[in-house]
Amino acid sequence: MRRITGYHQDEERHWVAELECGHTQHVRHDPPWQVRTWVTSEEGRMSHLGSELDCRRCEESRRGGLE
């Protein structure tokens, strides 16, 4: 688990969380698969700074996968 330290939008204007480990992760609101209404407003995104996400890239690195 890694804390969210910031956000930016990718080239397709999807929101991407910047994690404390230096990795990034998309945070989409795409119902019914991903329900993250908080990502649709600046206030919502700011309220989730410091929240933790499971960093898949760190997990893969621990298992000997991607860096």
Q: Note the pTM of the prediction, 2 decimals.
A: 0.83
Q: Is the pLDDT confidence value at 67 over 60?
A: no
How is the beta sheet containing 24-26 ordered, strand by strand?
A: 24-26, 15-19, 2-9, 52-53
Identify which has the larger pLDDT, 10 or 66.
10
pLDDT of residue 9: 96
* Angstrom distance (rounded) from CA 15 to CA 39: 7
- The predicted-structure confidence for 29-64, as pLDDT tens digits, reads as follows 888 888 999 999 999 999 999 999 999 999 888 887
What is the structure's pLDDT at 48? 97
